[in-house]
Amino acid sequence: MSTASTTEHDAAHGHEHPKWLAHHFDSPTQQFDSAKLGMWIFICTEILMLGGLFVAYGIFRGMEPDVFHHAHEHLNWRLGAVNTVVLLFSSLTAALAVRQSQVGDRKGTTNYLVVTLLCAAVFLCVKYVEYSAKIEHGLLPGRCFGHPGFADHCINAGASVMPAAVHGLTTRASMFFALYFMMTGIHGLHVVIGMGVLGWVLWRNLRGDFSKEYFTAVEIGALYWHLVDLVWIYLFPLLYLVG
């Protein structure tokens, strides 16, 4: 059916399809519910992936609790706490962005999205400081443990010599830092992706795509960001406080 005939058919039957309503949906409500269900399914798959890392952490920590406890003391819990506060605040501003879009406040939506993105940038900057300190002190995974700055000989495929101890830690502590970099690194990747998603939502909001009737992308983007926040809420106490 052509666009013209579709328009005539809708008009004849009293159907008014907004420009943002995809042709394969019967109503805005159906489109919104489908988008939200899709995001929840995606979130479930992400939880399954990250859940495997949490299980691995639990297994290895159970095998060597003392090693993990001493290793976690070399993490800066203050920086971790700062990032926790930053992400919690960013979750609030993301929720407020959704609320402002629901009431048709385009400027308010823009302001809250910008603040959320700034918080994400602060989070990444703090992680950069943390990672830099670990690399400088040689608190690295695998054969790089004890070799500051990822020295060439530590990443050489033929190298296997590791120091007996680093900062009072045995080489077994390299497993803790392997999990630390893996878990926080994947989370950091999600932060970067979230910034891309929210940046796209911000661009569309500035373009005037959203209104009281249509704010699906804002809510879906915020829902993804809440996942990023939720994962960190578990990572922070597990890595920085409990060890």
Fold of 26-242: Four Helix Bundle (Hemerythrin (Met), subunit A) (1.20.120)
Residues of the chain with pLDDT below 50 are 1-14, 157-159
pLDDT for the residue numbered 23: 59
pLDDT for the residue numbered 36: 81
> Is the alpha carbon torsion for 210, 212, 216, 219 positive or negative?
positive
CA dist 231 and 233 (Å) reads 5
Residue 85, amino acid: V
pLDDT for the residue numbered 121: 97
What does the DSSP 8-state code read for residue 173? G
Q: Helix 174-207 to helix 216-235 angle, to the nearest 10 degrees?
A: 160
**Around 159, how many Cα atoms within 13 Å sit in the side-chain half-sphere?**
15
pLDDT for the residue numbered 11: 41
Q: Quick check: helix, strand or coil at residue 211?
A: coil
The structural domains of the chain, with segments of one domain joined by +, span 26-242
pLDDT for the residue numbered 12: 38
**Closest alpha carbon to 99 in 88, 87, 111:** 111
Name the pTM for this structure: 0.83
pLDDT for the residue numbered 117: 98
- Exposure b/e, 32-56, CB count within 10 A at least 16 = b: beebeeebeeeeeeeeeebeeebee
